[in-house]
Structures are given as C-alpha cells and as structure tokens.
Amino acid sequence: MQLTPFSSVLVANRGEIACRILKTCREMGLRTIAVYSDADADAPHVALADEAVRLGESPASESYLRVDRILEAARVTGAEAIHPGYGFLSENADFAQAVADAGCVFIGPKPETIRQMGSKAGARALMASHGVPVVPGYSGAQDDASMAAAVAAIGLPVLIKSSAGGGGKGMSIVRSLDALPAALASARRTALAAFGDDTLLLERYVEAPRHVEVQVFGDRHGHAMHLFERECSVQRRFQKVIEESPSPAPQLSAAIRERLCEAGVKAARALGYEGAGTVEFLLDADGGFYFLEVNTRLQVEHPVTELVTGLDLVRLQLLVAMGGALTELAPRVERSGHAIEVRLCAEDPSRDFVPATGTLVEWTPPEGPGVRVDAGVQAGTRVDIHYDSLLAKIVAHGPTRLEAISRLRGALTRLGVQGVTTNREFLLQALAHPAFVAGATHTHFIADHLPVEARRVTPSADEVERAAVVCALAAAARRHAHAALVPSVRPGWRNSAFSGQRVMFDVRGGEAAVEVEYTARRDGEWSVRAGAGAWRVARLTVEAGGGASLTLDGRMSHHTLTPFASERDIASDDVPQVVGVRTRGRGAVVVLEARPRFPEVEGHAASGGCEAPMPGRVVAVLVAVGQRVQRGDALVVLEAMKMEQTLSAPADGEVTAVHVEPGARVDAGAALVTLTSA
C-alpha cells in the first residue's frame, strides 16, 4: 500500500472530540495543532496539543465557525491536514473545499459528497435511485397548498423536516390537516434561522420506530465497507442519548441485519464515499427499514463501534486520507460482545433537559474493565452557554448486553461530577428501566417510560441526614487539624456539658433541613443526632483531597466532600457555604447549604446574667449598660476553637453591667453581662 503521509494535523473542534482525535494523532506520531476560543483557553484539548492557536471570542460564530481564522491557523503552524471532528464545520462543503484549495488535506469525504447529502430531498432521491429503501415522502413545491396535497397522498401522520440540516431543528409531527399550516410556518422559521435555508420536506411518520444506523467507510480506490450497525433509539428532542451495538431489536433477524448493512454500503457506493460516514435508517415493528440520511462525518457514538470491532476509527480516517486502501487497512472485521454509550450532558432532565451552566468543581472519571470515558472537561472547567451541553461519553463493553449494562451503571455510579447539574441520574434511571433492559426501545422511549415528573431525583431523608453528619464531622476534623490543637482532643469536644456543637444544613433546591449535634465521648466515639436519626460514629478519617471515611453504627462508608459556590476550601477557618457529599457506590450527590455555628444558647445565667460556657476570646459586645433586652436577644459573641458562639439573654430585662470588652480572653464561667429582670 502506497501512502502519501502528512505529518501534522490541525483539529478544528473542541471538547471531547478534539481530545479524542488529538490522542490518536499523537499515538501515530503526528504533530498536533489545536484551536480555541477565549472560553476554551484553559481547556483540556488545548493542553493536549503540541501547539494551539486562538481563533477569537467565545461565541462559535467568532471562533469555531470562522473558516478564515482556521485556515490562517493552519497556515501559520504549517498544518498539512485538518480534521473537523463533528458539529461546527464538519459537514460544511464550502469549508471542505476551502481546506483543499489551501493545500491541506480535509479528513473527511469530498466536498461534492457533503454537498449532495446536505440536501435531504436530494439525498432521498439519490438513495431511491440506487435501491436503498426510503420512507414515502415529498420534496417538491414549498407552498402550503402543495404541501397539503402531498400530506393527503402520503397519509397522516407526517414528519416535517428541514432539508438543509439535522439535529432535530425544524422537525415536527403533524397529525391533522388543521395543524399543518402552523407547523409549516414554525418549521420554516426554525430552518431558516438554523441553516439559512427554509426548504422543507415531508415524510410519512413511522409510529414508535427504532433508529438504527450503519457505520460505513470508503476509500479513494473505490472500496466501500460497513462496520455493522448501532441502535440510537433512546432520544430526547430528536437527539440521541444512549447508543449501542449490536441493536437488540428482536425484529432484526440475521437476514434483515445483513440487508440493512448492505443498504448502508449501497449508499456509500452511490456517493463514491471516502472516509467515515453513517447511514441512518428507521426500523419498523415488522423489520422494514427506511433511509433517513447520511452523516458525512465521524459520529458522536463511534466509540461503540470501536469497542465491538477493536478498530480505531480516527486512525482509519487518517490512513484513508493518506491514500490507504481499506482492503489492506481492515481486510477482515468481526464484531465481539456488546457496547453501550451514554452522553453525559450539562442539563436538567427534571426541567425537560434545559441546558445547565456552572463550574465543574469535581471531575473524577470512572475506571474498570470494559469502561471507557471520552471527555473534554476537567475539574475547574467552566460550562457556559456558548457550546453544546455534552461533557463526556461514558462507554462500557462486555461479553453480553446485560454485562455491558451492568458495567455502564457501575461506571456512572462511580463517576465524580459536581458543580454543574447533569443528566447522570436520569441515565441511571434509563439503564435500569425494565423496558431498556429487555431491549424494548424506540424513539418515544423517554416520553413513554420516563416523563418529566419521573425524572426528578431527590435524596431520601436518611441520605440527607447521613450526608449532613459526614459533612459536619469532616469539617470539624479538618478545622481541628488546621488549628494544630492538642492531638488527643477530638473534633466536637466541649468542656461544657450543657450542649453539644450544632451545625444546620439545608438541601440545596429542596425543603429539607437537618441540624447536626455531636458530642465527643471518652471512648473515642461520637454521639450524633441529625433530624430524626441518631448514630454512633467512630473511625473518622479525613483525607487532604476531600475524602472522608467513617463508621456509622458499625458500617464504614467512604465519601467525597467538594465545596462549591464558594472559593473557600473545606480545610480553611470557615466551612464552605455549599458542599456536595458523594458516597462511594451511589450515584447521587447530596448538595448541602451549611450554616455552621454554635447554638445561640441562652448564656450560662447563674444570677440574672450570662457567663462564658467555655474558655475563649470576646469578639463583640452587642449591648450597653442601661439597654433593655428581650429573651433571646444577642448579648456577646465569643470565639473558641475557631468557631463563634452568640450568647443570648435568658429572659427579658435590663443590662446593669458589662464585664468584658472586645478582644478580652475569658475562662469558662467568667461573668460577661449582668441583667436585672423586668
């Protein structure tokens, strides 16, 4: 095989796909160039590349969609090839042509191929002419009258689609002729805004179909092949959430599967396809399948195919772009086991998947046999409004589908992600649903089995109480270590027996509140109360990185405590205002808003006044002689063991004496304020 190799690749993308491509390029010994926007200056893909070039401001329109700036970056760095990844400019025929005109290799299909498939109407016609089954539809005159006549001929329901683009934009289902005019107007507006082209097409809507696609590859020597199928039926807003290979569809017999994959190869040959592409089909309940579209790029879900075939599809893309022949690069491809991928996104499923923003304060990817994580984030990454909500892809492979599901659920549970709302708990719900486990998936799976009201995951009262106990004790231990006090004095120790230490916690976004009270025992255990629960606590170990292990009533558990919504570290003088508590072996994170304090106790009031309940320093005197006070009014603020305690009036009365000044140090039992009863 004679190759015309290139030695440097510019990746015109960001996030997980940029990292994914860069890793393979480095493994092949290629020099790598990244591009970035202002928002991505500190992103992982920038650090992973040998060089990186700033494109512009954060919006994609000023950075990742700027053809001129990408080509200039390639020129100044001497890049010989450009990989577009997916999204952004990956299916832009003009960009592919501009790359070629600039003397670089475009790692993807020819510009004319992209242009052919850029029109869904044209793609349907081409596929039909080459014997690829298509859904009955219409792509003629665009006026409402012609569209209505076409609907009458096709039959209801129909699906309105934008001819110029995908991703579910401009797509809607029409079930009555009365609803057609409004649906057409809305689809035109959306398509024009998203793609600059309001051309629409109609297709017969297949009720509850499966979405099955075939991974294809072609080379410049005329060879075309398939790498089997993937199922991507679990979707929200026409966008994929879970993908797997092979498809578990019972109607996909060996014979139908073979015909489906061969239809994908027919489509690739019809296009004279080069590189990686995906031919998408709808599969009905009887095993009939119909062409949807060709994605002329690497798919988000390509790791599923990689895990079942053992191939590196990015490497194959690069070698095909160098002129390699598939007959030598992949002469015999076999599939082994089952692989499933989930898309971890910054979004809130309980609010109909609205995107979420924030800063990732914890990112701990899971590890284990058969587990793969493709991510473009790290701890400290700011997730903002400028780009897609995809954070990472969590993928698992196993000998069987059930084992792949089990491994994937375990990986999601072990995943440490805090600071940004994600769909992690929703993914766990979906993977555990009996219909998914049985392989009974279709494109309405989420709507039918996981409606909005079922997606809200709230921690139980027991989980909240346990998280509050962990947080309070760990904070006390860290404060103790930070203060370098007597080693034998345990966290929570008080030299006043009338009260334990208390910390109040609220569950963020919820109504639950837990007050933790703990007192040290001489036998080295703590007696802890939180809400309705009470525990004996022993063997508390706090790690420098935010971990905490402790035994509650004889059961040891391991936790990760991560402060966020605050820049203060948990080992500092103050406990963070917001702390996420993640328990090993459980996916959910309990987010607590802490109001750490000593209780606002009535002062130790022997004779109409208040005394110091412990040795300490007077921080503030809040009353003056002659001032009238009511029961519960604050009198003095005392600091001890780096915590403040507000001492309050035990009864209504008048201040007749103040015995201390701010800054004074006092012993336990010292008189602070004297009151005369009203």
- The catalytic site residues sit at 297
DSSP structural state of residue 615: S
At residue 84, φ and ψ (nearest 5 deg) are -85, -10
User: By the 8 A CB rule, do 338 and 22 touch?
Assistant: no
What totals of helices (H) and strands (E) does the chain contain, helices first?
17, 39
d(CA 307, CA 327): 21
**Residue 637 structure tokens:** 């603020």
User: Which H or E run includes 455?
Assistant: none
Strands 31-37 and 8-11: parallel
170 in Cβ contact with 161 (< 8 Å) = yes
Retrieve residue 264's tokens.
């994908």
| Dist. CA 376–CA 20, nearest whole Å | 9
Phi, psi for 127 (deg, rounded to 5): -65, -40
Which residues are CB-neighbours of 527 under 8 A, at least 6 positions away? Answer: 500, 518, 519, 521, 534, 536, 537
CA distance 563 to 584: 17
Q: How far is CA 621 from the centre of its chain?
A: 49
Q: Torsion angle of alpha carbons 70, 75, 77, 80, nearest 10°?
A: 90
**From the centroid of its chain, how far is CA 661?**
53
The CA-atom distances, in angstroms, between 376 and each of 22, 46, 383, 393, 423 are 11, 10, 11, 9, 16
State the DSSP code for 554: T
Beta bridge partners of 341: 243, 395
340's tokens? 């499933």
Q: Helical H runs in 272-376?
A: 302-309, 313-321, 326-329
Please list the alpha-helical segments (H only) found in 326-387: 326-329
Name, in order, each residue with C-beta under 8 angstroms of 36's C-beta and a sequence gap of 6 or more.
Answer: 14, 43, 45, 46, 52, 53, 54, 55, 63
8 Å CB contact between 332 and 229: no
Q: Nearest-CA neighbor of 474 among 461, 486, 457, 492?
A: 492
User: Is the Cβ–Cβ distance between 83 and 21 less than 8 Å?
Assistant: yes
Backbone φ and ψ for 535, nearest 5 degrees, come out as -140, 155
Give one DSSP letter per residue of 59-89, joined into a string: SGGGTTT-HHHHHHHHHHHT--EEE--SSTT
Residue 55 CB contacts under 8 Å (≥ 6 apart), including other chains = 35, 36, 37, 62, 63, 64, 66, 69, 70, 73
Q: How far apart are CA 81 and CA 322, in angstroms?
A: 10
Q: What are phi and psi of 643, to 5 degrees?
A: -130, 145
Quote the tokens at residue 482.
């930070």
Report the alpha-carbon distance of residue 62 to residue 582 in Å, rounded: 38
